[in-house]
Amino acid sequence: MNKILPNILLVVMLLFTSCYYNKEDFVVPNNQAPPDPTVSNLVKENYVNKIYISVLGRKPLEDEFDQGLAIIDQDNLSLENRDDFLDLVFKKPEYFNRVYELARADLLNGLDTVLILEYIFLLDFLLQQTQDTGEREVLIYEQSRLIQLREVPQELESGNIDVVEVHRRCLNNLFYDEINMGTENFVVSVFQNLLFRFPSSAENIENNELENGKMIVDGFESVLFFQVGSSKQEFMDIFLASNDYFEGQVRGLYNRFLFREPDSEEMSALAVAYAQDRDYV
C-alpha cells in the first residue's frame, strides 16, 4: 500500500538521523537507511512526540509514548519499525477527525461542527413549515449536503470515502458558498485552497482557467484541464480528478510537514501514488 504521508514523515526522521559530509553525493538505487544504534534517546523521544503532534494535533499519552519508543527501538530505528509506529498512529480514530479538522480549517475557516448540526436542525424545522414543492427541494438539497459534511469522520474511518471526497464535501455546502459568494470567488477559492495558486487568466480562452471554470460552474459547456463540463458538480469532478489537484496536495503536505516544496522527482512519484490510492495513507 502506498503511504504518502507516512513516507513524508519518514523523511523527517531521516533528517534527524542522517550525517552530512562535505563531499559529492552519490545516489544508490533502492537504498534504504540502515538501523542506527547511535541515535540518542532524546532524538527518539522527539520523534515520537513530533509524529503525534503532526498527525493527531496533540502530544502522546504516557502509555502511547512508551509504546512508540518500544516499537521504534526494537531494531535501532529500522525503517520497518518506524513504519509500524506510523501505522499505529494512523489507525487511531483521532486521525480521521484530524483530517476533517484540517480540511475545515483550510476550506471552511475552521467551521465548528456544532454549527453544522444547528443548521441541519434549522433546515429540518423549515421543512416542517412549508409545503411548497420548490422550497422543499431547496431545503432538502441544502440539508443533504450538510449531513454529508457532518458524516465525514465516520465515513472516512469506515473506508466509505477517501480524502478526495472529504475535500469535495468541504467545497460542496452552503457554508463554502457563503464564504466564497459568487461564481468567480468560488472558482478562485478552489484553485487557491487546493492548488495554492490563482487560476490562469490568459487572453487565449483555451488556456484561461478562470473564465472556463466560471462558464462550467454557471452551466455553460467549457473545457478545464482538457475535460469538458457544464455544471458546478462537473467542475468539481474535473478539478478533483486532475493532475494539478494531486500535485497541489503533495505540495500542501510537504509544506505542512517538511516546510519546503517537493522537488520534481518527489512531486512526480507522490502525485501518481496519491492519484492511484486517492488517500494520504
Mean pLDDT across 270-281: 86
Position 7 pLDDT exceeds 60: no
Q: How many helices (H) and strands (E) does the chain have?
A: 15, 2
Last residue in a domain, options 151, 179, 207: 179
Report which of residues 30 and 269 the model is more confident about: 269
107 plus 45 within the same structural domain: no
Residue 185: strand, helix, or coil: helix
Residue 22 has pLDDT above 90, yes or no: no
**pLDDT of 25 over the 90 cut:** no
Q: What is the mean pLDDT of residues 30-35?
A: 56
**How do residues 111-132 score in pLDDT, each as one tens digit?**
999 999 999 999 999 999 999 9
**Domain membership flag for residue 221:** no
Assess if residue 103 is contained within a domain: yes
Dihedral of CA 50/52/56/57: which sign? negative
Q: Average pLDDT, stretch 202-210?
A: 86
Q: Is the pLDDT of residue 2 over 50?
A: no
Q: Are residues 83 and 107 in the same domain?
A: no
Same domain, 70 and 110: no
Can you spell out the DSSP letters for 63-75? Answer: HHHHHHHHHHTTT
Confidence tier at 30 by pLDDT (50, 70, 90): low
Confidence check: pLDDT of 140 > 90: yes
pLDDT of residue 144: 98
Residue 11: per-residue pLDDT: 42
C-alpha span between 99 and 95 (Å, rounded): 6
pLDDT in tens, 146-187: 999 999 999 999 999 999 999 999 999 999 999 999 999 999
Let me know if residue 69 belongs to a domain: yes
19 has pLDDT over 50:
no
Last residue of a domain, one of 147, 179, 211: 179
Q: What residues have CB less than 8 Å from 39, skipping those under 6 apart?
A: 16, 17, 76, 77
Contacts 24+ apart (CB under 8 A), 187-195: 187/213, 187/214, 187/217, 187/235, 190/236, 190/239, 193/106, 193/107, 194/167, 194/239, 194/245, 194/248, 194/249, 194/252, 195/244, 195/245, 195/247, 195/248
Confidence of residue 75 (pLDDT cuts 50, 70, 90): confident
Q: Which pLDDT belongs to residue 236?
A: 98
Q: Give the count of domains, the chain.
A: 2
Backbone angles phi, psi at 34, to 5 degrees: -75, 165
Q: Which three cell numbers stand for residue 172?
A: 460542496
Query: Which residue segment(s) compose the domain that 80 sits in?
Result: 4-17+34-92
7 compared with 97, residue with greater pLDDT: 97
Residues 87 and 8 in one domain: yes
**Top-confidence residue, 205 or 16:** 205
In a domain, 209, yes or no: no
Does 79 fall in a domain?
A: yes
Over 90: is that where the pLDDT of 36 sits? no
For residue 61, with 0-12 CB atoms within 10 Å meaning exposed, 13-18 middle and 19 or more buried, which class applies?
A: exposed
- Any domain includes 208: no
Q: Does residue 58 sit in the same domain as residue 98?
A: no
- Position 78 scores a pLDDT of 85
pLDDT higher than 50, residue 23: no
Residues 109 and 40 in one domain: no
Largest CA distance in the chain: 78
Q: What is the pLDDT of residue 8?
A: 47
Domain-located, residue 281: no
In a domain, 57, yes or no: yes
pLDDT for 203? 81
What pLDDT, on the 0 to 100 scale, is given for residue 186? 98
When the pLDDT of each residue in the chain is averaged and rounded to a whole number, the result is: 88
Average pLDDT over residues 226-244: 97
Q: What is the pLDDT of residue 15?
A: 40
